[in-house]
């Protein structure tokens, strides 16, 4: 039974050797769509108009892609992308007169979440919506999306785990023949548990807390999980090898602290105070 051999092709199909549909893009887009549909349902229950929901969706969609892309390029590979700035935003390359569709190879969750937060802040200011009420719902949808993004990483055989030191583990054949921790699946499962927790609190217990508590809980739980699971994952870039904490852990710390501060400040609903 052990080890499990994983050798999935990241491409679903390829046209003329130039344009391909990849599992990563399909799962990423699918996660965004499912997350949006869930948020839409929750917002409609709060009497939001379809027009306002669609506007928010556009803000969040572009901010997610842009934030995640900039986060990866500037935190993980700044030297390369500052030398090739067009590749930050273009899903293709044109080198030596040859066109190649590459997609966005490199998206950082920290950057994506920051982009979402910034876009919701701008949207809330412009359309006079309570920002923490929006963030509570967006946190639930965002957590659902994160499940699929880590499954996409698994299909790509990327963000792999460290060697288990035994036969128990997954061999990512596109990388090497060593049984490893499936860090992507660890994260995906952790995000699933967090999603269930947030959704339950929103539907059954949110009257006990102030607006924004779910958002704070989302940040706290998600980035604690990310911090812990990083110990089972290989560093993504070489400069992390000499650090006590890798870049994923360092970037998680301010999110954990911020989430706990928000949770504390929103721990009681005004309706529950006698």
C-alpha Rg value of the chain to the nearest Å: 20
**pLDDT of amino acid 98:** 66
Contact between residue 13 and residue 92 where contact means Cβ atoms under 8 Å apart: no
**pLDDT of amino acid 274:** 39
Looking at every residue in the chain, the average pLDDT score rounds to: 87
Contact between residue 203 and residue 38 where contact means Cβ atoms under 8 Å apart: no
CA distance 46 to 25: 31
Mean pLDDT within 229-253: 80
Share of the chain above pLDDT 90, in %: 60
- Which residue carries 């391909």 as its tokens? 20
Residue 39's H or E segment, with its range, is helix 23-45
Mean pLDDT within 78-82: 73
- Look at strands 179-180 and 170-172 and give their pairing: antiparallel
CA distance 236 to 200: 34
* pLDDT tier, 155 (very low <50, low <70, confident <90, very high otherwise): very high
Task: Give the Cβ contact number of residue 197 at 10 Å.
Answer: 16
* pLDDT tier, 113 (very low <50, low <70, confident <90, very high otherwise): confident
Residues in the chain: 274
Torsion from C-alpha of 227, 196, 118, 258, nearest 10 degrees:
-50
Share of the chain above pLDDT 70, in %: 85
Q: For the full predicted model, state whether its pTM sits above 0.85.
A: no
Domain boundaries, the chain: 14-272
Task: Give the Cβ contact number of residue 179 at 10 Å.
Answer: 20
Half-sphere exposure of 111 (CA within 13 A, CB side): 17
Mean pLDDT within 25-51: 93
Question: Cβ contacts of residue 82 below 8 Å, gap of 6+?
Answer: none
pLDDT in tens, 128-154: 999 999 999 999 999 999 999 999 999
pLDDT at 46 over 60: yes
pLDDT in tens, 192-237: 999 999 999 999 999 999 999 999 999 999 999 999 999 999 876 6
**pLDDT of amino acid 121:** 93
Contact between residue 240 and residue 190 where contact means Cβ atoms under 8 Å apart: no
pLDDT in tens, 60-72: 888 888 888 887 7
């Amino acid at each position: 039974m052990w080890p499990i051999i994983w050798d999935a092709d990241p491409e679903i199909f390829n046209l003329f050797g130039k344009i391909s549909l990849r599992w990563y893009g399909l799962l990423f887009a699918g996660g965004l769509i499912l997350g949006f549909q869930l948020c839409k349902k929750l917002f409609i229950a709060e009497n939001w108009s379809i027009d306002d929901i669609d506007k928010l969706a556009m803000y969040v969609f572009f901010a997610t892609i842009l934030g995640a892309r900039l986060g990866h390029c500037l935190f993980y590979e700044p030297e390369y992308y500052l030398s090739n700035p067009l590749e930050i935003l273009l899903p293709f390359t044109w080198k030596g007169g040859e066109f190649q569709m590459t997609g966005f190879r490199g998206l950082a969750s920290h950057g994506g979440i920051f982009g979402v937060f910034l876009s919701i802040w701008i949207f809330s200011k412009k359309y006079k919506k309570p920002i923490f009420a929006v963030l509570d719902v967006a946190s639930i949808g965002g957590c659902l999306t994160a499940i699929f993004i880590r499954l996409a990483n698994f299909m790509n055989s990327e963000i792999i785990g460290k060697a288990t030191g035994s036969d128990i583990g997954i061999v990512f054949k596109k990388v090497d023949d060593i049984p490893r921790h499936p860090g992507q699946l660890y994260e995906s499962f952790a995000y699933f548990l967090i999603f269930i927790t947030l959704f339950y609190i929103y539907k059954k217990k949110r009257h006990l807390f102030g607006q924004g508590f779910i958002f704070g809980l989302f940040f706290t739980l998600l980035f604690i999980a990310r911090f812990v699971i990083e110990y089972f994952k290989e560093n993504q870039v070489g400069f992390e090898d000499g650090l006590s904490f890798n870049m994923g852990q360092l970037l998680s710390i301010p999110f954990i602290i911020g989430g706990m501060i928000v949770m504390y400040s929103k721990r009681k609903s005004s309706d529950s105070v006698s």
